Amino acid sequence: MGEVLPSPVGPRATTSPGGGAVVLPSPAAAGEGPSTRITRVGAVPWSVPRVGQVRGVDVLVVGAGFAGAVIAERLASQAGKRVLVCDRRPHVAGNAHDHLDEAGILVHQYGPHIFHTSAARVVAYLSQFTEWRPYEHRVLAQVDGRLLPVPISRATVNQLYGLELPDEAACAAWFASVAEPVAQVRNSEDIVVSKVGRALYEKFVRNYTRKQWGLDPSELDASVLARIAPRTNDDVRYFTDSFQAMPRDGYTAMFERILAHPNITVRLGVDYRELIGVVPFQTMVYTGPIDEFFGMQFGKLPYRSLEFRHETLPVDRVQPVAVVNFPNDHDYTRRTEFKHLTGQAHARTSVVYEFPRATGDPYYPVPRPENAALYRKYRELAQQTPDTFFAGRLATYQYYDMHQVVGQALTVFGEIAMARAGRPASPLAGRDRVLG
Ligand code: FAD
Ligand code: UDP
Protein backbone atom coordinates (compact mmCIF):
# COMPACT_ATOMS: atom_id res chain seq x y z
CA MET A 1 0.00 0.00 0.00
CA GLY A 2 1.43 3.32 -0.99
CA GLU A 3 -1.20 5.33 0.80
CA VAL A 4 -0.56 6.37 4.40
CA LEU A 5 -3.79 6.65 6.29
CA PRO A 6 -4.68 7.44 9.86
CA SER A 7 -4.27 4.56 12.28
CA PRO A 8 -7.34 2.87 13.70
CA VAL A 9 -9.45 4.71 16.19
CA GLY A 10 -10.52 3.28 19.52
CA PRO A 11 -13.71 1.41 20.33
CA ARG A 12 -16.77 2.60 18.54
CA ALA A 13 -20.33 1.47 18.24
CA THR A 14 -23.03 2.28 15.78
CA THR A 15 -26.64 1.39 15.95
CA SER A 16 -28.25 0.23 12.76
CA PRO A 17 -31.82 0.98 11.74
CA GLY A 18 -32.36 -2.75 11.97
CA GLY A 19 -31.67 -2.54 15.69
CA GLY A 20 -28.28 -4.24 15.66
CA ALA A 21 -25.26 -2.65 17.29
CA VAL A 22 -21.94 -3.18 15.60
CA VAL A 23 -19.01 -2.90 17.96
CA LEU A 24 -15.46 -2.80 16.75
CA PRO A 25 -12.98 -3.03 19.63
CA SER A 26 -9.59 -1.45 19.09
CA PRO A 27 -6.81 -4.01 18.68
CA ALA A 28 -5.21 -2.94 21.94
CA ALA A 29 -8.45 -3.22 23.88
CA ALA A 30 -9.16 -6.59 22.36
CA GLY A 31 -5.59 -7.76 22.88
CA GLU A 32 -5.51 -9.26 19.42
CA GLY A 33 -2.39 -7.87 17.83
CA PRO A 34 -2.71 -7.23 14.15
CA SER A 35 -6.18 -8.61 13.66
CA THR A 36 -9.48 -7.40 15.01
CA ARG A 37 -12.91 -8.75 15.74
CA ILE A 38 -16.42 -7.64 15.12
CA THR A 39 -19.16 -8.36 17.59
CA ARG A 40 -22.70 -8.11 16.41
CA VAL A 41 -25.36 -7.51 19.00
CA GLY A 42 -28.97 -8.07 18.05
CA ALA A 43 -30.48 -9.21 14.80
CA VAL A 44 -29.76 -7.31 11.62
CA PRO A 45 -31.96 -9.33 9.28
CA TRP A 46 -30.68 -7.88 6.04
CA SER A 47 -27.00 -7.95 6.79
CA VAL A 48 -24.39 -10.54 5.95
CA PRO A 49 -23.15 -11.45 9.39
CA ARG A 50 -19.61 -12.73 9.62
CA VAL A 51 -18.28 -13.07 13.10
CA GLY A 52 -14.69 -13.98 13.69
CA GLN A 53 -11.19 -12.82 13.03
CA VAL A 54 -9.71 -11.65 9.80
CA ARG A 55 -5.98 -12.24 9.98
CA GLY A 56 -5.03 -10.70 6.71
CA VAL A 57 -6.60 -10.78 3.29
CA ASP A 58 -5.54 -10.45 -0.30
CA VAL A 59 -7.93 -7.61 -1.08
CA LEU A 60 -9.68 -4.99 1.02
CA VAL A 61 -12.80 -3.75 -0.76
CA VAL A 62 -14.16 -0.45 0.53
CA GLY A 63 -17.91 -0.25 -0.03
CA ALA A 64 -20.57 -2.97 -0.27
CA GLY A 65 -22.52 -1.33 -3.11
CA PHE A 66 -22.63 -2.63 -6.68
CA ALA A 67 -19.02 -1.75 -7.46
CA GLY A 68 -17.56 -3.27 -4.30
CA ALA A 69 -19.76 -6.35 -4.13
CA VAL A 70 -19.29 -7.36 -7.78
CA ILE A 71 -15.51 -6.95 -7.67
CA ALA A 72 -15.32 -8.83 -4.37
CA GLU A 73 -17.39 -11.70 -5.75
CA ARG A 74 -15.29 -11.98 -8.91
CA LEU A 75 -12.01 -11.90 -6.98
CA ALA A 76 -13.28 -14.54 -4.56
CA SER A 77 -14.91 -16.89 -7.03
CA GLN A 78 -12.73 -16.48 -10.12
CA ALA A 79 -9.30 -15.67 -8.69
CA GLY A 80 -9.50 -17.50 -5.36
CA LYS A 81 -8.68 -14.35 -3.42
CA ARG A 82 -9.53 -13.79 0.23
CA VAL A 83 -11.51 -10.59 0.30
CA LEU A 84 -12.63 -8.35 3.12
CA VAL A 85 -15.51 -6.01 2.23
CA CYS A 86 -16.20 -3.16 4.63
CA ASP A 87 -18.87 -0.51 4.51
CA ARG A 88 -19.32 2.35 6.90
CA ARG A 89 -23.07 2.00 6.60
CA PRO A 90 -24.73 -0.73 8.65
CA HIS A 91 -25.99 -2.58 5.59
CA VAL A 92 -25.00 -4.01 2.21
CA ALA A 93 -26.18 -2.91 -1.26
CA GLY A 94 -25.01 0.72 -1.04
CA ASN A 95 -27.58 3.14 -2.41
CA ALA A 96 -29.62 0.25 -3.80
CA HIS A 97 -30.32 -1.04 -0.28
CA ASP A 98 -33.93 -2.09 0.34
CA HIS A 99 -35.63 -3.41 3.46
CA LEU A 100 -39.03 -4.02 4.98
CA ASP A 101 -40.31 -0.89 6.71
CA GLU A 102 -42.36 -0.92 9.90
CA ALA A 103 -45.51 -1.75 7.96
CA GLY A 104 -43.77 -4.71 6.32
CA ILE A 105 -43.57 -3.02 2.90
CA LEU A 106 -40.36 -3.40 0.87
CA VAL A 107 -38.91 0.10 0.39
CA HIS A 108 -35.72 1.50 -1.10
CA GLN A 109 -34.03 3.46 1.65
CA TYR A 110 -32.21 5.81 -0.74
CA GLY A 111 -34.91 6.45 -3.32
CA PRO A 112 -36.31 4.44 -6.22
CA HIS A 113 -33.93 2.02 -7.92
CA ILE A 114 -35.18 0.58 -11.19
CA PHE A 115 -32.97 -1.89 -13.01
CA HIS A 116 -32.62 -1.53 -16.78
CA THR A 117 -29.87 -2.42 -19.24
CA SER A 118 -29.18 -3.50 -22.78
CA ALA A 119 -25.95 -5.25 -21.80
CA ALA A 120 -26.30 -9.01 -21.97
CA ARG A 121 -23.20 -9.66 -19.88
CA VAL A 122 -24.58 -7.56 -17.01
CA VAL A 123 -27.87 -9.46 -17.06
CA ALA A 124 -26.03 -12.79 -17.24
CA TYR A 125 -23.80 -11.84 -14.33
CA LEU A 126 -26.56 -10.65 -11.97
CA SER A 127 -28.89 -13.49 -12.93
CA GLN A 128 -26.57 -15.84 -11.05
CA PHE A 129 -27.77 -14.17 -7.87
CA THR A 130 -31.40 -13.30 -8.46
CA GLU A 131 -34.59 -14.18 -10.24
CA TRP A 132 -36.30 -11.24 -11.90
CA ARG A 133 -39.74 -9.67 -11.79
CA PRO A 134 -40.56 -8.05 -15.15
CA TYR A 135 -41.23 -4.35 -14.62
CA GLU A 136 -41.30 -1.45 -17.07
CA HIS A 137 -40.98 1.90 -15.38
CA ARG A 138 -43.44 4.71 -16.07
CA VAL A 139 -43.19 8.25 -14.77
CA LEU A 140 -45.79 11.02 -14.81
CA ALA A 141 -45.03 14.69 -14.24
CA GLN A 142 -47.53 17.04 -12.64
CA VAL A 143 -47.69 19.93 -15.11
CA ASP A 144 -50.47 22.52 -15.39
CA GLY A 145 -52.49 20.52 -12.88
CA ARG A 146 -52.36 17.31 -14.91
CA LEU A 147 -50.28 14.14 -14.81
CA LEU A 148 -48.39 13.78 -18.10
CA PRO A 149 -45.89 11.18 -19.29
CA VAL A 150 -42.15 11.86 -19.19
CA PRO A 151 -39.83 11.71 -21.08
CA ILE A 152 -41.62 14.15 -23.37
CA SER A 153 -43.17 12.14 -26.20
CA ARG A 154 -45.93 12.32 -28.77
CA ALA A 155 -48.29 11.14 -26.03
CA THR A 156 -47.16 14.03 -23.82
CA VAL A 157 -47.79 16.80 -26.33
CA ASN A 158 -51.03 15.28 -27.57
CA GLN A 159 -52.37 15.23 -24.01
CA LEU A 160 -50.92 18.58 -22.96
CA TYR A 161 -52.10 20.58 -25.97
CA GLY A 162 -55.11 18.51 -27.02
CA LEU A 163 -53.40 17.65 -30.30
CA GLU A 164 -53.95 14.58 -32.40
CA LEU A 165 -50.52 14.09 -33.92
CA PRO A 166 -51.08 10.75 -35.63
CA ASP A 167 -47.55 9.43 -36.06
CA GLU A 168 -43.85 10.01 -35.55
CA ALA A 169 -43.47 12.13 -38.68
CA ALA A 170 -46.22 14.47 -37.52
CA CYS A 171 -44.67 14.71 -34.09
CA ALA A 172 -41.19 15.35 -35.50
CA ALA A 173 -42.62 18.14 -37.65
CA TRP A 174 -44.41 19.62 -34.63
CA PHE A 175 -41.22 19.50 -32.51
CA ALA A 176 -39.33 21.16 -35.39
CA SER A 177 -41.91 23.94 -35.48
CA VAL A 178 -41.34 24.82 -31.81
CA ALA A 179 -37.62 23.96 -31.48
CA GLU A 180 -35.07 26.74 -31.01
CA PRO A 181 -32.06 26.58 -33.30
CA VAL A 182 -28.85 25.98 -31.33
CA ALA A 183 -25.58 26.09 -33.29
CA GLN A 184 -23.78 23.78 -30.89
CA VAL A 185 -25.37 21.84 -28.07
CA ARG A 186 -23.22 22.67 -25.05
CA ASN A 187 -25.40 22.05 -22.03
CA SER A 188 -28.67 20.64 -20.69
CA GLU A 189 -30.72 23.67 -21.71
CA ASP A 190 -29.46 23.49 -25.29
CA ILE A 191 -30.19 19.81 -25.68
CA VAL A 192 -33.84 20.28 -24.74
CA VAL A 193 -34.75 23.61 -26.37
CA SER A 194 -33.04 22.55 -29.59
CA LYS A 195 -35.35 19.54 -29.79
CA VAL A 196 -38.69 20.56 -28.29
CA GLY A 197 -38.55 24.32 -27.73
CA ARG A 198 -38.76 26.58 -24.74
CA ALA A 199 -42.36 26.07 -23.63
CA LEU A 200 -41.93 22.34 -22.95
CA TYR A 201 -38.49 23.02 -21.49
CA GLU A 202 -40.00 25.43 -18.99
CA LYS A 203 -42.89 23.18 -18.05
CA PHE A 204 -40.97 19.92 -17.61
CA VAL A 205 -37.25 20.57 -17.24
CA ARG A 206 -36.08 23.96 -16.05
CA ASN A 207 -37.56 24.00 -12.56
CA TYR A 208 -37.11 20.29 -11.86
CA THR A 209 -33.45 20.59 -12.77
CA ARG A 210 -32.90 23.75 -10.72
CA LYS A 211 -34.48 22.02 -7.75
CA GLN A 212 -32.58 18.76 -8.22
CA TRP A 213 -29.13 20.21 -8.83
CA GLY A 214 -29.28 23.75 -7.43
CA LEU A 215 -28.08 24.77 -10.90
CA ASP A 216 -29.72 26.01 -14.05
CA PRO A 217 -29.78 23.42 -16.87
CA SER A 218 -27.48 25.75 -18.81
CA GLU A 219 -24.84 25.08 -16.12
CA LEU A 220 -24.99 21.28 -16.50
CA ASP A 221 -23.48 19.02 -19.15
CA ALA A 222 -25.89 18.02 -21.91
CA SER A 223 -25.48 14.42 -20.72
CA VAL A 224 -27.80 15.06 -17.75
CA LEU A 225 -30.87 15.81 -19.86
CA ALA A 226 -29.77 13.35 -22.52
CA ARG A 227 -30.86 10.72 -19.99
CA ILE A 228 -34.49 11.58 -20.70
CA ALA A 229 -34.34 12.50 -24.39
CA PRO A 230 -37.68 13.49 -25.99
CA ARG A 231 -39.33 10.98 -28.33
CA THR A 232 -41.53 11.36 -31.37
CA ASN A 233 -43.30 8.07 -30.68
CA ASP A 234 -45.78 7.34 -27.92
CA ASP A 235 -43.62 4.93 -25.94
CA VAL A 236 -44.35 6.15 -22.43
CA ARG A 237 -41.87 3.85 -20.69
CA TYR A 238 -39.15 5.76 -18.85
CA PHE A 239 -36.40 3.49 -20.19
CA THR A 240 -36.08 1.85 -23.59
CA ASP A 241 -33.49 -0.80 -22.67
CA SER A 242 -34.03 -4.36 -23.85
CA PHE A 243 -33.93 -5.69 -20.28
CA GLN A 244 -36.12 -4.05 -17.64
CA ALA A 245 -36.85 -5.91 -14.42
CA MET A 246 -36.53 -5.80 -10.66
CA PRO A 247 -34.66 -8.38 -8.58
CA ARG A 248 -37.49 -10.64 -7.48
CA ASP A 249 -36.58 -10.70 -3.78
CA GLY A 250 -35.17 -7.18 -3.73
CA TYR A 251 -31.68 -5.70 -4.03
CA THR A 252 -30.48 -6.53 -0.53
CA ALA A 253 -31.33 -10.21 -0.97
CA MET A 254 -29.40 -10.19 -4.25
CA PHE A 255 -26.38 -8.60 -2.57
CA GLU A 256 -26.47 -11.14 0.24
CA ARG A 257 -26.14 -13.86 -2.39
CA ILE A 258 -23.38 -12.01 -4.25
CA LEU A 259 -21.41 -11.69 -1.04
CA ALA A 260 -22.12 -15.17 0.29
CA HIS A 261 -18.88 -16.67 -1.07
CA PRO A 262 -16.75 -18.41 1.60
CA ASN A 263 -13.70 -16.34 0.62
CA ILE A 264 -15.54 -13.11 1.40
CA THR A 265 -15.82 -11.53 4.83
CA VAL A 266 -18.15 -8.56 5.27
CA ARG A 267 -17.83 -5.94 7.97
CA LEU A 268 -20.58 -3.39 8.25
CA GLY A 269 -20.58 -0.13 10.15
CA VAL A 270 -16.81 0.03 9.64
CA ASP A 271 -14.91 2.80 7.90
CA TYR A 272 -11.93 1.37 6.02
CA ARG A 273 -9.60 3.74 7.83
CA GLU A 274 -10.25 1.74 10.98
CA LEU A 275 -8.80 -1.33 9.30
CA ILE A 276 -5.60 0.22 7.97
CA GLY A 277 -2.69 -1.15 9.95
CA VAL A 278 -5.02 -3.65 11.61
CA VAL A 279 -5.91 -6.04 8.82
CA PRO A 280 -3.02 -6.64 6.40
CA PHE A 281 -3.95 -6.68 2.70
CA GLN A 282 -2.15 -6.51 -0.63
CA THR A 283 -4.62 -4.68 -2.82
CA MET A 284 -7.37 -2.19 -2.12
CA VAL A 285 -10.51 -1.55 -4.15
CA TYR A 286 -12.02 1.78 -3.18
CA THR A 287 -15.60 2.73 -4.13
CA GLY A 288 -16.20 5.79 -1.91
CA PRO A 289 -15.83 9.46 -2.90
CA ILE A 290 -12.45 9.94 -4.56
CA ASP A 291 -11.81 13.40 -3.11
CA GLU A 292 -12.27 12.03 0.40
CA PHE A 293 -9.73 9.27 -0.26
CA PHE A 294 -7.13 11.90 -1.02
CA GLY A 295 -8.00 14.16 1.91
CA MET A 296 -9.65 16.70 -0.44
CA GLN A 297 -6.20 18.01 -1.22
CA PHE A 298 -7.34 19.72 -4.42
CA GLY A 299 -10.60 20.85 -2.85
CA LYS A 300 -14.00 19.25 -2.44
CA LEU A 301 -15.61 17.61 -5.45
CA PRO A 302 -19.28 18.59 -5.51
CA TYR A 303 -21.68 15.71 -4.94
CA ARG A 304 -25.41 16.45 -4.82
CA SER A 305 -27.26 15.06 -1.84
CA LEU A 306 -30.85 14.21 -1.05
CA GLU A 307 -33.00 14.00 2.04
CA PHE A 308 -35.55 11.18 1.92
CA ARG A 309 -38.90 11.42 3.67
CA HIS A 310 -40.54 8.01 3.94
CA GLU A 311 -44.24 7.69 4.74
CA THR A 312 -46.78 4.90 5.01
CA LEU A 313 -50.34 5.79 4.07
CA PRO A 314 -53.54 3.97 5.06
CA VAL A 315 -54.63 3.31 1.48
CA ASP A 316 -53.91 0.55 -1.02
CA ARG A 317 -52.57 2.82 -3.79
CA VAL A 318 -51.88 6.56 -3.81
CA GLN A 319 -50.78 7.23 -7.42
CA PRO A 320 -51.23 5.56 -10.82
CA VAL A 321 -47.54 4.86 -11.48
CA ALA A 322 -44.42 4.25 -9.39
CA VAL A 323 -43.00 7.76 -9.73
CA VAL A 324 -44.69 11.15 -10.00
CA ASN A 325 -42.41 14.12 -10.71
CA PHE A 326 -43.19 17.61 -9.49
CA PRO A 327 -41.20 19.99 -11.68
CA ASN A 328 -43.00 23.15 -10.63
CA ASP A 329 -44.60 22.41 -7.26
CA HIS A 330 -43.25 21.52 -3.81
CA ASP A 331 -39.70 21.39 -2.43
CA TYR A 332 -39.38 17.74 -3.34
CA THR A 333 -38.69 16.54 -6.87
CA ARG A 334 -40.66 13.32 -6.94
CA ARG A 335 -42.77 10.88 -4.99
CA THR A 336 -42.27 7.13 -5.37
CA GLU A 337 -44.80 4.49 -4.41
CA PHE A 338 -42.87 1.27 -3.90
CA LYS A 339 -45.60 -1.31 -4.40
CA HIS A 340 -45.61 -0.51 -8.13
CA LEU A 341 -41.94 -1.49 -8.30
CA THR A 342 -42.13 -4.64 -6.23
CA GLY A 343 -45.60 -5.92 -6.98
CA GLN A 344 -46.11 -6.46 -3.26
CA ALA A 345 -49.72 -6.83 -2.10
CA HIS A 346 -50.44 -4.92 1.11
CA ALA A 347 -53.43 -3.05 2.53
CA ARG A 348 -51.29 0.05 3.09
CA THR A 349 -48.75 1.76 0.87
CA SER A 350 -45.30 3.31 1.42
CA VAL A 351 -43.91 6.28 -0.45
CA VAL A 352 -40.73 8.34 -0.41
CA TYR A 353 -40.28 12.03 -1.19
CA GLU A 354 -36.86 13.28 -2.36
CA PHE A 355 -35.66 16.70 -1.18
CA PRO A 356 -32.45 17.79 -2.95
CA ARG A 357 -29.68 19.08 -0.67
CA ALA A 358 -26.30 20.73 -1.15
CA THR A 359 -24.82 18.90 1.84
CA GLY A 360 -25.22 15.42 3.28
CA ASP A 361 -24.36 11.96 1.99
CA PRO A 362 -22.93 12.10 -1.53
CA TYR A 363 -25.42 10.68 -4.05
CA TYR A 364 -24.81 12.33 -7.41
CA PRO A 365 -21.62 13.56 -9.09
CA VAL A 366 -22.49 16.91 -10.67
CA PRO A 367 -21.71 16.73 -14.40
CA ARG A 368 -20.22 20.06 -15.50
CA PRO A 369 -16.85 20.97 -17.01
CA GLU A 370 -15.18 22.46 -13.93
CA ASN A 371 -16.05 19.40 -11.85
CA ALA A 372 -14.70 17.07 -14.53
CA ALA A 373 -11.45 19.07 -14.49
CA LEU A 374 -11.16 18.75 -10.72
CA TYR A 375 -11.94 15.04 -10.91
CA ARG A 376 -9.15 14.57 -13.46
CA LYS A 377 -6.66 15.91 -10.92
CA TYR A 378 -7.77 13.30 -8.41
CA ARG A 379 -7.73 10.65 -11.11
CA GLU A 380 -4.10 11.44 -11.80
CA LEU A 381 -3.31 10.88 -8.15
CA ALA A 382 -5.26 7.65 -8.24
CA GLN A 383 -3.23 6.45 -11.19
CA GLN A 384 -0.08 6.98 -9.16
CA THR A 385 -1.37 5.08 -6.12
CA PRO A 386 -0.01 1.56 -6.26
CA ASP A 387 -2.11 -1.52 -5.54
CA THR A 388 -5.27 0.54 -5.27
CA PHE A 389 -8.16 0.41 -7.71
CA PHE A 390 -11.01 2.89 -7.92
CA ALA A 391 -14.47 1.90 -9.12
CA GLY A 392 -18.10 3.01 -8.91
CA ARG A 393 -20.13 6.16 -9.13
CA LEU A 394 -18.40 8.11 -6.36
CA ALA A 395 -14.82 6.95 -6.91
CA THR A 396 -14.83 7.61 -10.66
CA TYR A 397 -17.17 10.61 -10.43
CA GLN A 398 -19.51 9.37 -13.13
CA TYR A 399 -23.31 9.70 -13.18
CA TYR A 400 -23.66 5.94 -13.64
CA ASP A 401 -26.74 3.81 -13.26
CA MET A 402 -26.53 0.41 -11.61
CA HIS A 403 -25.96 -1.57 -14.79
CA GLN A 404 -23.13 0.74 -15.79
CA VAL A 405 -21.46 0.27 -12.41
CA VAL A 406 -21.77 -3.51 -12.77
CA GLY A 407 -20.22 -3.32 -16.24
CA GLN A 408 -17.41 -1.15 -14.94
CA ALA A 409 -16.86 -3.47 -11.97
CA LEU A 410 -16.52 -6.52 -14.24
CA THR A 411 -13.93 -4.61 -16.26
CA VAL A 412 -12.02 -3.50 -13.18
CA PHE A 413 -11.94 -7.08 -11.95
CA GLY A 414 -10.24 -8.02 -15.22
CA GLU A 415 -7.67 -5.29 -14.68
CA ILE A 416 -6.93 -6.39 -11.13
CA ALA A 417 -6.56 -9.98 -12.27
CA MET A 418 -4.12 -8.87 -14.97
CA ALA A 419 -2.12 -6.73 -12.55
CA ARG A 420 -1.93 -9.60 -10.06
CA ALA A 421 -0.75 -11.90 -12.85
CA GLY A 422 2.22 -9.57 -13.26
CA ARG A 423 0.99 -7.73 -16.28
CA PRO A 424 0.86 -3.96 -16.08
CA ALA A 425 -2.57 -2.43 -15.63
CA SER A 426 -3.26 1.17 -14.87
CA PRO A 427 -5.39 1.43 -11.74
CA LEU A 428 -7.84 3.57 -13.65
CA ALA A 429 -7.66 2.11 -17.14
CA GLY A 430 -11.13 1.69 -18.52
CA ARG A 431 -12.64 3.27 -15.46
CA ASP A 432 -14.27 6.15 -17.30
CA ARG A 433 -15.74 4.06 -20.01
CA VAL A 434 -19.15 2.55 -19.78
CA LEU A 435 -18.40 -1.03 -20.53
CA GLY A 436 -21.75 -2.68 -20.22
P1 FAD B 1 -22.66 3.14 -3.69
O2 FAD B 1 -23.94 2.39 -3.82
O3 FAD B 1 -22.72 4.56 -3.24
O4 FAD B 1 -21.71 2.31 -2.72
C5 FAD B 1 -20.53 2.85 -2.18
C6 FAD B 1 -20.44 2.38 -0.74
O7 FAD B 1 -19.16 2.75 -0.22
C8 FAD B 1 -21.48 3.03 0.16
O9 FAD B 1 -22.34 2.05 0.73
C10 FAD B 1 -20.65 3.76 1.20
O11 FAD B 1 -21.21 3.70 2.51
C12 FAD B 1 -19.32 3.03 1.13
N13 FAD B 1 -18.20 3.85 1.60
C14 FAD B 1 -17.86 5.08 1.16
N15 FAD B 1 -16.79 5.52 1.84
C16 FAD B 1 -16.45 4.55 2.73
C17 FAD B 1 -15.43 4.43 3.72
N18 FAD B 1 -14.56 5.43 3.97
N19 FAD B 1 -15.36 3.28 4.43
C20 FAD B 1 -16.27 2.28 4.24
N21 FAD B 1 -17.26 2.36 3.33
C22 FAD B 1 -17.34 3.48 2.57
N23 FAD B 1 -29.48 3.49 -10.85
C24 FAD B 1 -30.26 2.77 -11.69
O25 FAD B 1 -29.75 1.95 -12.45
N26 FAD B 1 -31.64 2.91 -11.69
C27 FAD B 1 -32.27 3.76 -10.85
O28 FAD B 1 -33.51 3.85 -10.86
C29 FAD B 1 -31.47 4.54 -9.95
N30 FAD B 1 -32.06 5.40 -9.11
C31 FAD B 1 -31.30 6.12 -8.24
C32 FAD B 1 -31.95 6.98 -7.36
C33 FAD B 1 -31.21 7.70 -6.44
C34 FAD B 1 -31.92 8.63 -5.49
C35 FAD B 1 -29.78 7.57 -6.42
C36 FAD B 1 -28.97 8.37 -5.43
C37 FAD B 1 -29.14 6.72 -7.30
C38 FAD B 1 -29.89 5.99 -8.22
N39 FAD B 1 -29.28 5.10 -9.11
C40 FAD B 1 -30.06 4.37 -9.98
C41 FAD B 1 -27.82 4.95 -9.17
C42 FAD B 1 -27.30 3.81 -8.30
O43 FAD B 1 -27.62 4.07 -6.95
C44 FAD B 1 -25.80 3.70 -8.48
O45 FAD B 1 -25.44 3.53 -9.83
C46 FAD B 1 -25.17 2.54 -7.71
O47 FAD B 1 -25.81 2.29 -6.49
C48 FAD B 1 -23.72 2.89 -7.47
O49 FAD B 1 -23.05 1.83 -6.83
P50 FAD B 1 -21.61 2.10 -6.21
O51 FAD B 1 -21.14 0.82 -5.66
O52 FAD B 1 -20.76 2.81 -7.18
O53 FAD B 1 -21.85 3.18 -5.05
N1 UDP C 1 -35.40 15.86 -15.32
C2 UDP C 1 -36.29 16.92 -15.52
N3 UDP C 1 -37.62 16.70 -15.40
C4 UDP C 1 -38.14 15.49 -15.11
C5 UDP C 1 -37.25 14.41 -14.92
C6 UDP C 1 -35.90 14.62 -15.02
O7 UDP C 1 -35.86 18.03 -15.76
O8 UDP C 1 -39.38 15.35 -15.04
C9 UDP C 1 -33.96 16.11 -15.45
C10 UDP C 1 -33.32 16.45 -14.10
O11 UDP C 1 -32.27 17.36 -14.32
C12 UDP C 1 -32.80 15.11 -13.66
C13 UDP C 1 -32.30 14.54 -14.97
O14 UDP C 1 -33.31 14.95 -15.92
O15 UDP C 1 -31.80 15.24 -12.71
C16 UDP C 1 -32.13 13.05 -15.02
O17 UDP C 1 -33.35 12.44 -14.63
P18 UDP C 1 -33.34 10.98 -14.01
O19 UDP C 1 -34.76 10.57 -13.79
O20 UDP C 1 -32.50 10.11 -14.84
O21 UDP C 1 -32.63 11.25 -12.60
P22 UDP C 1 -32.24 10.24 -11.41
O23 UDP C 1 -33.22 9.11 -11.44
O24 UDP C 1 -30.83 9.84 -11.67
O25 UDP C 1 -32.38 11.10 -10.20
**pLDDT tens for each residue of 232-289:** 999 999 999 999 999 999 999 999 999 999 999 999 999 999 999 999 999 999 999 9
Query: Is 95 near ligand 1, meaning CB less than 6 Å away?
Result: yes
DSSP string, 108-166: ETTS----EE--HHHHHHHTTT--EEE---BEEEEETTEEEEES--HHHHHHHHT----
403 in Cβ contact with 117 (< 8 Å): yes
Top mutation candidate among 208, 221, 398 for ligand 2, by most atoms within 8 Å of CB: 208
121 noted as active-site residue: no
359 HSE (CA, 13 A, CB side): 0
416 in Cβ contact with 70 (< 8 Å): no
Ligand nearest to the CA of 111: 1
CA of 239 to the centre of ligand 1 (A): 20
pLDDT, tens digit (0-9, with 9 covering 90-100), for 122-152: 999 999 999 999 999 999 999 999 999 999 9
**Amino acid 40: pLDDT:** 25
Query: Is 400 near ligand 1, meaning CB less than 6 Å away?
Result: yes
The parts of the chain modelled with pLDDT lower than 70 are 1-54, 422-436
Cβ neighbours of residue 140 closer than 8 Å, sequence gap 6 or more: 147, 148, 149, 150, 319, 320, 321, 323, 324, 325
Query: Is 365 near ligand 1, meaning CB less than 6 Å away?
Result: no
Ligand nearest to the CA of 98: 1
Spatial separation of the C-alpha atoms in residues 133 and 64, rounded to whole Å: 23
Look at strands 52-54 and 283-286 and give their pairing: unpaired
Tell which residue, 352, 259, 227, 223, has the closest CA to residue 71: 259
331 noted as active-site residue: no
Spatial separation of the C-alpha atoms in residues 374 and 392, rounded to whole Å: 17
User: 3-state secondary structure string, 282-300?
Assistant: CEEEECCCHHHHCCCCCCC
Nearest atom of ligand 1 to the alpha carbon of 363? 36
Top mutation candidate among 71, 113, 228 for ligand 1, by most atoms within 8 Å of CB: 113
As separate numbers, helices (DSSP H) first and strands (DSSP E) second, the chain gives 13, 21
CA of 363 to the centre of ligand 1 (A): 7
**Amino acid 418: pLDDT:** 86
Neighbour tally for 163: CB within 10 Å:
13
Spatial separation of the C-alpha atoms in residues 326 and 140, rounded to whole Å: 9
pTM of the model: 0.89
354 noted as active-site residue: yes
Domain ranges of the chain: 12-92+259-300+366-420, 97-138+237-248+303-363, 153-226
Domain 12-92+259-300+366-420 has CATH 3.40.50.720: yes
Please provide the distance, in angstroms rounded to a whole number, between the alpha carbons at the two ends of the chain: 30
380 noted as active-site residue: no
Cβ neighbours of residue 240 closer than 8 Å, sequence gap 6 or more: none
Catalytic residue chosen out of the listed positions 89, 334, 393, 431: 334
Ligand nearest to the CA of 196: 2
248 noted as active-site residue: no
401 noted as active-site residue: yes
**Amino acid 53: pLDDT:** 61
Catalytic residue chosen out of the listed positions 231, 267, 368, 431: 231
Ligand nearest to the CA of 151: 2
Catalytic residue chosen out of the listed positions 40, 267, 304, 393: 304
219 noted as active-site residue: no
Rounded to 10 degrees, what is the CA torsion of 300, 87, 104, 261? 140
Look at strands 59-62 and 243-247 and give their pairing: unpaired
